[in-house]
Chain A
Amino acid sequence: MQTISLKKLFYFEKTPLNLGIAIVTVALLAAFMAGAVAYILHGHHVYNVTRQHPWGLLIAMYVFFVVSSTGLCIISSIGHVFGIPEFQQIGKRAIAGAIITISSGFAVIGLEIGHPMTMLIYNVLTPGLTSAIWWMGTLYGLYLTFICLEFFFLAIKVNHTFSKIFGICGLLVGLAAHSNLGAVFGFLISRPSANGVFYPVYFILSAMITGCYLVFLMYGFRYKMNFPEKVSVMLVKLSKILGMLLAVLIFFEAWKILTALYGDMPERAATILHAIKHPNFWFGELILGMLIPFAIILVSNAKAIKATIYASITGMVGIFFMRYDLVHDTLLYPMTTLKRAEYQVAPSFVEYFPSAAEFAIGFGGIGLALFMYYLADKVFNLDETESAHH
């Protein structure tokens, strides 16, 4: 930890890139605050969620953030917990990122849950042990505690034994929490397109991919594309891991879609067919999220680090669409299949588009994450130090 004055804290080199990111961060933070005020004044009425589509962009953004957090935790554990030497340098930066992203996720979900204080009280007094949300929330609370302790012993009071112990605990609890987040959707027997074992496993896989993208972005920005030898060796290896994970994801998704379509099962097949025809899927998820990064890694034999860093931007946009589609596609099939009144048309796929407040809070969360990352980078030394080896 470094001694730092307020003046130093807000001083940064005024390059066009830095200035651009600063403006975007401040704008997103302002949007978050505006959205939060609108929610506090008007409650859920400022959101476009309905009885038929009760979850929207904010749930998707919460998933986006916690998947990022789990991903960074898993990727950091390659070096830090499993002891692969080239990856040990990621440790502090990735764990700081994991703490920041999950905190942003909690900030977003805090403005979606109607009664967060009631949640804190009755999660303890009358726990719903059959609820995936209960397990996910409780385990994520524990996970955040462990990774904070891990970071404390990595960056503040350096103790490699303790940081490793808390790193292992954080990894295990994070994996349990994250698969439970998958189960939140997988447990929905009312939604055949989501129900099943797919999501708990897919969440872990897509988290690892998100973690790789974020490590690429953090290092690309940290070194302004001029990488020292040690960093570029690590990034080439990470790129190979990312390529393999993307191949598994593409394979996995293909079989999920084929299984859902085969046999034309009521509700499930129609939902998936509708979902995969939408540009959010084929352009957002498939091309931006998977194919562009995968093609770059494949063609360059994982050596084009700079191109992979740019592809990580499209990758993260794709990951956003994956989260958004996950929530929306699950809910798009109407539960009531009959008309309710003479003047209504028969129910079709449920429509939803986020409101301004949802956009402000959801994307404002990215501003929170960027701001916290800026502060963490200023206050702590997130690069590998010699003492980390002892």
Chain B
Amino acid sequence: MARYGMALNYKNCINCRACESACKEENGVLLLKDHYRIWVGVKEAEGQFPNISIASQTYHPSQCQHCENAPCQQVCPTNATYYSKDGMVMVDPTKCILCTYCINACPYDARYVDNRTNTVDKCTFCSDTRLANGETTTACQATCPTKVRVFGDLDDPNSEISVLLANKEYRQVKEHLGTKPKLFYIL
């Protein structure tokens, strides 16, 4: 079985947010304020005018981190949140009771309530819309013009992501919480 993860060359990000649009289009995410599976965070430029460090302004694409030790999975009372065979964190809408405990427990603000199913929704690495059809990329990766995102199997030493992580330094978000996220920000 694969163990899917994503590496992000976040310094390449130009904040065009094509990934956000592609995600919404691919997965039918509703166009409402709180409804988004992925987003681009903006770290503002440091310094006071006129001494502003332009290089310090960066963009941080983010989404569900598909943690190996996911707090959302641990706190779910009905096991509606589960690990797929490929190590992805998934939500089964038939079991979700909408207690929103998982939204509270997620340190990454990655979950929201989908109005159509009235259950919790989040990034699935396009598992049902693309991977299930034999494709090997996610919609956000496929659309990114500056090749920020590299999606693939972390257990395959020859996959692009494994090679990238073997050769580059990276960091993860809120590592100190012990959640073992599978999103890697290439430094």
A325 to B85, alpha carbons, bound, how many Å? 40
Indicate if the CB atoms of A191 and B178 lie closer than 8 Å: no
Q: How far is the CA of A126 from the CA of B103 in the complex (A)?
A: 20
Judge whether A116 is part of the interface by a CB distance below 8 angstroms. Answer: yes
**Is B62 a contact partner of A113 (Cβ separation < 8 A)?**
no
Report yes or no: B100 in contact with A336, Cβ–Cβ below 8 A. no
Which residues, 309 to 352 on A, are CB-close (under 8 Å) to B? 330-331, 334-342, 346
Q: For the side of the interface on B, what is the size category?
A: 35 or more
Chain B CB count within 10 A is highest, among A123, A131, A184, for A131
| Residues of chain B lying within 8 A (CB to CB) of residue A133 | 75, 77, 99, 101
- Residues from chain A with Cβ under 8 Å of B178 in the complex: 189
* Contact of B119 with A114 in the complex, beta carbons under 8 Å: yes
**Minimum Cβ distance to chain B for residue A185 (Å):** 9
- Verify A190–B71 contact, CB threshold 8 A: yes
Q: Is A303 an interface residue (CB 8 A)?
A: no
Which residues from A are CB-within-8-Å of B4?
none
Distance between Cα atoms of A346 and B112 in the complex (Å):
20
Majority secondary structure of chain B interface residues (helix, strand, loop or mixed): loop
What is the CA–CA distance of A128 and B39 in the complex, to the nearest angstrom?
30
- A340 nearest CB across to chain B (Å): 5
A44 touches B113 (CB 8 A): yes
What are 23 A-B pairs with beta-carbon distances under 8 A? A44-B98, A49-B100, A51-B112, A113-B98, A114-B96, A114-B97, A114-B98, A115-B119, A118-B95, A126-B78, A131-B75, A131-B76, A132-B75, A134-B77, A187-B74, A190-B107, A335-B108, A336-B62, A336-B109, A337-B41, A338-B41, A339-B42, A339-B44
Contact residues of B with A, CB < 8 Å? 34, 39-44, 60, 62, 71, 74-80, 94-101, 103-109, 111-113, 118-119, 177-179
Extra A-B contacts (20), CB below 8 Å, given A43-B118, A55-B104: A113-B98, A114-B118, A118-B97, A122-B78, A126-B79, A126-B80, A127-B79, A128-B75, A128-B76, A131-B101, A189-B107, A190-B104, A190-B106, A335-B106, A336-B39, A336-B62, A337-B41, A338-B41, A338-B60, A339-B44
